[in-house]
Chain A
Amino acid sequence: MGMTITEKIMARNSGRDHVVPGELVWTNVHTVMTMDYLGKTCFDKFRSLGKTEVFNKDRVICVSDHLVPPPNQKFATMLNEWREVVKQHDITNFYDLGRQGIAHQIMVEQGHVLPGTISIGTDSHANTYGAAGAVGNAIGVTDAAVAMATGKAWFRVPKSVKFHITGTWQPWVMAKDLSLHIMGMMHWNGHLLYKALEFTGPAIESLSMAGRMTLCNMTVDLGAKNGIIAPDAITQRYLKDRAIGDWDMIASDDDAEYDQVYTIDISDLGPTVALPGKLDDTVPVEKLIGTKFNKAFVGTCTNGRLEDIATIAKILKDKQVHRDINMILVPASQTVYLEALRAGYIETLVEAGVAVDTPSCAACAGIHTGVAGDGDIVLSAGNRNMTGRMGSKKAEIYLTSPSVVAASALTGVITDPRTLSL
């Protein structure tokens, strides 16, 4: 019996020829990521294991993303303690304020994720790494501390579910729409619990790395263990000047066994929106045309990449954000920010009346930079819309793609970007 790509990665990294779903394995991890508000605890726990040196100084990746730039004294002090502990352990790859970005963006963009390997991070959207053909997994600080000490993590080999995506993408339809569509179809509350989700098919083969990251990113919100796309020419091109280390074109065997296989024809998919409160309460944008909102947000580890910024810049070029809308863009990393500046997108967006802020998790974590207040109705390209997620419990969050956010920011009400004459 053949193996799926996730099974192969689990086998390869646990020194076995073969694994089957349900089996428990200790695997080697390629990289361990932790961030500002949990990182100090990781290092403290790591030392409590009786170790002083991490398993590999180049492979413990430290990022400041949730608390930067510090909006208050508490966070400033936490960041100081964090910097101190990272320095103390002589960590090679420290992406602190000035070189920062959202950890998951940093991990892929800076080449810390390699096809065929396993990378873990102390934040739920670590599933993003699957875009590079790796198993990306979210873990707690305990697992991170253990991996820092030993270079290993334990896993139960998951069953795999395949999403085979065919057809051609309609204009302005993005990977986010597919994510939300799958959310609506499979439900948010864990119907894909513990599963490895594998995305294949012509519409995935034509999808950019940015889109692949969006798709894998939100698999955690389906309850899945990981989301993965086998490496191909697009992965190769993306990783060529970034990846550190050797890798191969690992793929599922033809006779691999899947728990379920779903085929989706993307040609039928239009822009999609999740209604406030639940991620799986999704509707086609047509059903919400004319719905009022007052805040527009583009950013996060889901949709803060160059391609997302290029999309909103294309829609807003030489136009003005509606006077009743406050729109914020937070690029996913300093690198993305610089690329967007050089491409002229930032200028276009500032001219259009978009506020651009320093790369961070921003309002997505509800702790700073554009948080929602009472009565706010936010149209967000982020990843979660639960009550209170972006701040006030009396605010509502609609989730959608960057193209819907930009088209709607232009008109002041929820708008289908396909209907704009651009």
Chain B
Amino acid sequence: MIKGKCWVADDYVMAYDIIIQEYWTSAIDAAENSKWVMAGVKEEFNKENAFKDEGFTFIVAAHNFAGGGKSIEHVITGLMGAGVQAVFATSFARLQFRNAINYGLPFVTCDDIDKGCETGDELEYNPETGIITNITKGTSFQSVPAAPFVAEVGDAGGLMNYVREKIANGEPIE
């Protein structure tokens, strides 16, 4: 069970704006990438540690979260470094959906979630059942549960750990 407050996107969120251009060539590092994460999304986040200091546990968004076509993993490490533990959206851009799975950061698909939350609301997410509860508003939402492979990778702490373990044990990857 994960509990904490959410930030609700008021517009379409692009990967481009989560990590702005000048940081694309930075090292992929949670501490580093989180300093300027979301800098392009809102002017108020365009200061060092501005988003991170807000202490959001969840992001709630609408369609095609992290779209616009960037495959860089800084987007995911930046969010994780800022303390984000799950993102709820009506859909996700595939490049970052894939990266999120590989890092074990839940990108959770949930219809209408964007209309049922306001920034600052206290939410609780149950990864087992996929139920998202808005404690502040007393409402709940059924999200799409993670596929078994996705859950397995998440439990391993990401694809690197998952594959490293298989290689070390001489197990086939299939």
User: Which chain B residues lie closer than 8 Å to A139 at the CB level?
Assistant: 71, 95, 98
Q: How far is the CB of A270 from chain B (nearest CB, A)?
A: 26
Roughly how many angstroms separate A148 CA and B163 CA in the complex, as a whole number? 12
| Residue B158 at the chain A interface, CB threshold 8 Å | yes
Of B20-28, B117-125, B132-140, the segment with at least 4 beta carbons within 8 Å of chain A is B20-28
Interfacial chain A residues near B95, Cβ < 8 Å: 124, 138-140, 220
Give the complex CA separation of A149 and B63 in angstroms: 35
Map CB proximity to A onto B80-121 as digits: 1 under 8 Å, 0 otherwise.
000000000001111100110011000000000000000000
Q: Quick check: B163 and A146 within 8 Å, CB to CB?
A: yes
Interface range, A side: 35 or more
List A contacts of B149 (CB < 8 A): 24, 154
**Interface assignment of B42: CB less than 8 Å from any CB of chain A:** no
Interface residues of A in 135-193 (CB under 8 A from B): 138-143, 145-146, 149-150, 152, 154, 156, 189-190, 193
Bound complex: CA of A344 vs CA of B14, how far in Å? 42
Q: Which of B20, B71, B102 contacts A138 (CB 8 A)?
A: B71
From A37, A123, A190, contact of B71 by CB (8 A):
A123
Task: Point out the residues of chain B lying under 8 angstroms from A143, CB to CB.
Answer: 98, 102, 159
In A37-61, which residues have CB < 8 Å from any B CB? 37-38, 41, 45, 48-51
Interface flags for A202-232 (1: CB within 8 Å of B; 0: not) read: 0000000000000000001101110000000
Contact B63 A49 (CB under 8 A): no
Known: A37-B24, A223-B67, A386-B14. A26 touches B174 (CB 8 A): yes
Nearest neighbor of A125 in chain B, beta-carbon distance: B69
Measured in the bound complex, the distance between the Cα atoms of B168 and A347 in whole Å is: 57
Q: For the complex, what is the distance from the CA of A142 to the CA of B162, rounded to whole Å?
A: 11
Complex Cα–Cα for A282 and B47 (A): 34
Contact of A189 among B16, B28, B64, B174 (CB under 8 A): B64
In the complex, chain A residues whose CB is within 8 Å of the CB of B158:
142
A194 touches B94 (CB 8 A): yes
Q: How many residues of B contact A (CB 8 A)?
A: 39
A51 surroundings in chain B (CB, below 8 A): 167
Q: Does A388 contact B (CB under 8 A)?
A: yes
Is B72 an interface residue, CB under 8 A from the partner? yes
Say yes or no: is B1 at the interface (Cβ < 8 Å to chain A). Answer: no
B73-A142 in contact (CB<8A): yes
Smallest beta-carbon distance B91→chain A, Å: 6
Q: Indicate if the CB atoms of A142 and B159 lie closer than 8 Å.
A: yes
Does A201 lie at the interface of the complex (its beta carbon under 8 Å from any beta carbon of B)? no
The total number of A-B Cβ pairs within 8 Å is 108
Minimal beta-carbon separation of B66 from chain A (angstroms) = 10
Instruction: Specify which of A41, A74, A189, A220 is in contact with B63 (CB 8 Å cutoff).
Output: A189
List chain A residues, Cβ under 8 A from B20.
388
Closest Cβ–Cβ distance, residue A263 to chain B (whole Å): 25
Specify which chain A residues have a CB less than 8 angstroms from the CB of B72 in the assembled complex.
38, 140
A48 contacts which of B16, B27, B103, B164 (Cβ < 8 Å)? B164
Cα distance A74–B24 in the bound complex, in angstroms:
13
Contact indicator B21/A388 (Cβ below 8 Å): yes
Contacts of A221 in B (CB 8 A): 69
Contacts of A142 in B (CB 8 A): 73, 99, 102-103, 158-160
Which residues of A lie under 8 Å from residue B159 when comparing CB positions? 142-143, 146, 154
- Which of these, A124, A141, A225, contacts B73 with CB under 8 Å? A141
Supposing A152-B173, A386-B16 touch, asked if A140 and B71 sit within 8 A by C-beta, the answer is yes
Query: Measured between alpha carbons, how far is A26 from B27 in the docked complex, in Å?
Result: 28
Contact A24 B147 (CB under 8 A): yes
Q: How far is the CA of A224 from the CA of B168 in the complex (A)?
A: 35
Is A4 positioned at the interface, with any CB of B under 8 Å from its CB? no
A220 touches B164 (CB 8 A): no
As a 0/1 sequence over residues 18 to 35 of chain A, the CB contacts with chain B under 8 angstroms (1 = contact) are 000000101000000000
- Residues of B near A386 (CB, < 8 A) are 14, 16, 68
B70 CB–A CB distance under 8 Å: yes
Q: In the complex, what residues of A have CB within 8 A of residue B102's CB? A: 140, 142-143
Q: Which residues of A contact B64 (CB under 8 A)?
A: 189-190, 193, 223
Cα-based distance from A223 to B160 in the complex (angstroms): 25
Q: B31-51: contact bitstring with A at CB < 8 Å (1 yes, 0 no)?
A: 000000000100000000000
Q: Which residue of A lies closest to B101 (CB)?
A: A154
Q: How far is the CA of A342 from the CA of B54 in the complex (A)?
A: 59
Smallest beta-carbon distance A11→chain B, Å: 14
User: A300 in the interface, Cβ–Cβ < 8 Å?
Assistant: no
Which of B25, B93, B160, B168 sits near A37, CB closer than 8 Å? B25
- Compute how far the CA of A190 lies from the CA of B18 in the bound complex, rounded to whole angstroms: 17
The 13 listed contacts between A and B (C-beta, < 8 Å) are: A26-B174, A41-B27, A48-B160, A48-B164, A124-B70, A138-B71, A142-B99, A143-B98, A189-B12, A189-B67, A223-B67, A386-B14, A389-B16
Give A residues with C-beta under 8 Å from B.
24, 26, 37-38, 41, 45, 48-51, 66-67, 74-75, 78, 122-124, 138-143, 145-146, 149-150, 152, 154, 156, 189-190, 193-194, 220-221, 223-225, 365-367, 384, 386, 388-389
Residues of B that sit less than 8 Å from A by CB: 12, 14, 16, 20-21, 24-25, 27-28, 40, 63-64, 67-73, 91-95, 98-99, 102-103, 147, 149, 158-160, 163-164, 167-168, 173-174
